[in-house]
């Protein structure tokens, strides 16, 4: 046995590929390209070369690759694998150097991070300096906007089919839908703020659009006046996702509201998922809809399973209704109360708890079971537990309540 040794190069290609798939694609290319012919062949596989994120992303900020790594990619590696690249993720300061390093004959998608909108869209103008891009072949643009302010109008036509974009205000969203992308069939928009900004609502229909996703993390008062008119232009939608937090809407949004104001305008819709919270401010919290009523309005909902949760905060004078498609697709679940309906949320990593009533032992046990991979937990509650002293004598599902609840992945 002492004379036996096994080197990485002794492993069969299939095993090497399985091991290398655990690494990032740019790590594989940087480490293997130029070592020998066998490793070159493996690194040239579409598994590693078709999608390249060529920047560093940390804490929501982008920065270029270190100079030594960027130099090697631009002078050698990209030239070796250019015919296999189908998607590039780029940041603003190194974009030009990467795009001009070689030609990309099969590039069909770009992800742009840290750009202003004018520079991002200028890639598709006839006067663009990026001659190495076959713009007629690019069908998808993933654009993460981090700057502020509206850019000037740009006149061009594009065969772009898919666009993923982060914009700051609602007028930027309308700006993208003014006809410049006449072939667009998929649009994913993440908006920072939704509010009117001296804009004129365009009522022109968008018949080519088949898939639309709208996400906004900030509360908006303009669900009826801005969001619904936009959605009704998309009468041929087949797939829709909404992630919204709506303030002071006239009533809670339920299945009846969604059918009347959205679904009835989209005869082709066959996939509708959402995560919507409505905050209602009122000093009188009597005669409000119950969670059972909200859930009943989704009894004939044909798209997927729907969960709902209603919370009442008498001391602060407001209530809320949270409706969402299940399985839950977001990485966070905030402002959970004692009315939490439960379920399994394997994607969620960040959780916050808030209620005017105390959280008992049973509630924390439910949280541990519902969020098995939770890493971040915050709690706002100043009420002491009522059954803290007597819980040792109780059992739930034959489980002793004196057992310590464990959160195995919790960091904060």
Give tens-digit pLDDT for 38-81.
888 888 888 999 999 999 877 667 789 999 999 999 999 999 99
Domain carrying residue 388:
331-411
Contact predicate 116/87, CB 8 Å: no
Mean pLDDT of 102-127: 72
Give tens-digit pLDDT for 236-284.
999 999 999 998 766 789 999 999 999 999 999 999 999 999 988 776 6
Total number of domains in the chain: 1
On the question of pLDDT at 172 being above 60, the answer is yes
On the question of pLDDT at 288 being above 80, the answer is no
Contact predicate 99/90, CB 8 Å: yes
Cα atoms in the 13 Å half-sphere on the side-chain side of 246:
25
In a domain, 406, yes or no: yes
Give tens-digit pLDDT for 203-235.
788 999 999 999 998 999 999 989 999 999 999
In a domain, 404, yes or no: yes
pLDDT of residue 99: 87
Give the whole-angstrom CA distance, residue 356 versus residue 363: 14
In a domain, 362, yes or no: yes
Burial bucket for residue 376 (CB in 10 Å: 0-12, 13-18, 19+): middle
Q: Which residue has the higher pLDDT, 142 or 219?
A: 219
**What global pTM score does this model have?**
0.72
Average pLDDT of the chain is 82
In a domain, 382, yes or no: yes
In a domain, 337, yes or no: yes
Give the whole-angstrom CA distance, residue 225 versus residue 238: 23
Contact predicate 381/352, CB 8 Å: no
Q: What angle do CA 226, 228, 231 make, to 5 degrees?
A: 110
Mean pLDDT of 88-99: 87
Give start and end residues of each alpha helix (H) in 233-301.
Answer: 255-261, 291-296
pLDDT of residue 368: 95
Paired sense of beta strands 271-281 and 51-53, if any: unpaired
Q: Could you give the percent of the chain with pLDDT greater than 70?
A: 79
3-class DSSP state for residue 84?
helix
Q: Could you give the percent of the chain with pLDDT greater than 90?
A: 36
In a domain, 343, yes or no: yes
In a domain, 27, yes or no: no
pLDDT of residue 386: 80
In a domain, 153, yes or no: no
Give the pLDDT band (50/70/90) at residue 90. Answer: confident
pLDDT of residue 117: 63
On the question of pLDDT at 96 being above 90, the answer is no
Give the whole-angstrom CA distance, residue 104 versus residue 79: 9
Residues paired with residue 239 on neighbouring β-strands, in sequence order: 211, 271
The residue among 288, 249, 163 whose CA lies nearest residue 213 is: 163
Q: Which residue has the higher pLDDT, 136 or 56?
A: 56
Q: Which residue has the higher pLDDT, 128 or 315?
A: 315
Q: Which residue has the higher pLDDT, 212 or 119?
A: 212
Give tens-digit pLDDT for 321-364.
999 998 898 899 998 989 898 999 999 999 999 998 899 999 99
The residue among 110, 259, 257, 117 whose CA lies nearest residue 191 is: 117
């Amino acid at each position: 046995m002492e004379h036996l040794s096994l080197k990485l190069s002794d492993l069969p290609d299939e095993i090497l590929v399985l091991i290398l798939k655990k690494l990032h694609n740019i790590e594989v290319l940087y480490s293997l390209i130029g070592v020998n012919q066998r490793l070159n062949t493996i690194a040239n596989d579409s598994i590693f070369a078709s999608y390249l994120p060529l920047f560093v992303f940390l804490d929501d900020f982008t920065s270029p690759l270190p100079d030594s790594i960027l130099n090697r990619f631009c002078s050698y590696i990209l030239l070796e694998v250019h015919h296999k690249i189908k998607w590039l993720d780029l940041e603003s300061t190194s974009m030009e150097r990467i795009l001009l390093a070689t030609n990309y004959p099969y590039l069909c998608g770009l992800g742009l991070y840290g750009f202003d909108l004018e520079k991002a869209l200028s890639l598709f103008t006839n006067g663009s300096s990026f001659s190495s891009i076959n713009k007629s072949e690019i069908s998808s643009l993933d654009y993460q906007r981090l700057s502020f302010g509206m850019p000037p109008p740009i006149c061009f036509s594009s065969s772009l089919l898919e666009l993923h974009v982060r914009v700051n205000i609602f007028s930027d969203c309308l700006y993208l839908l003014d006809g410049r992308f006449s072939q667009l069939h998929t649009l994913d928009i993440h908006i920072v703020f939704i509010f009117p900004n001296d804009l004129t609502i365009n009522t022109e229909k968008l018949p080519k659009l088949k898939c639309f996703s709208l996400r906004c993390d900030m509360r908006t008062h303009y669900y009826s006046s801005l969001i619904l008119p936009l959605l009704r232009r998309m009468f041929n939608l087949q797939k829709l996702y909404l992630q919204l937090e709506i303030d002071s809407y006239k009533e809670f949004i339920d299945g009846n509201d969604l059918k009347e104001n959205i679904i009835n305008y989209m005869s082709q819709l066959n996939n509708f998922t959402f995560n919507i919270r409505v905050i209602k401010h009122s000093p009188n919290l009597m005669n409000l809809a119950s969670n059972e009523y909200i859930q009943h309005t989704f009894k004939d909902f044909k798209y997927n399973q729907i969960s709902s949760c209603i919370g009442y905060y008498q001391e602060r004078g407001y209530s809320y209704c949270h409706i969402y498609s299940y399985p839950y697709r977001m990485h966070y679940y905030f402002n959970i109360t004692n009315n939490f309906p439960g379920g399994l949320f394997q994607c969620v990593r960040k959780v916050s708890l808030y209620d005017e009533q105390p959280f008992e032992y049973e509630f924390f046990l439910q949280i541990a079971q519902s969020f098995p991979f939770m890493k971040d937990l915050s709690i706002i509650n100043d009420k002491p537990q009522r059954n803290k002293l007597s819980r040792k004598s109780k059992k739930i599902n034959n489980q002793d309540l004196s057992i310590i609840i464990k959160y195995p992945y919790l960091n904060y």
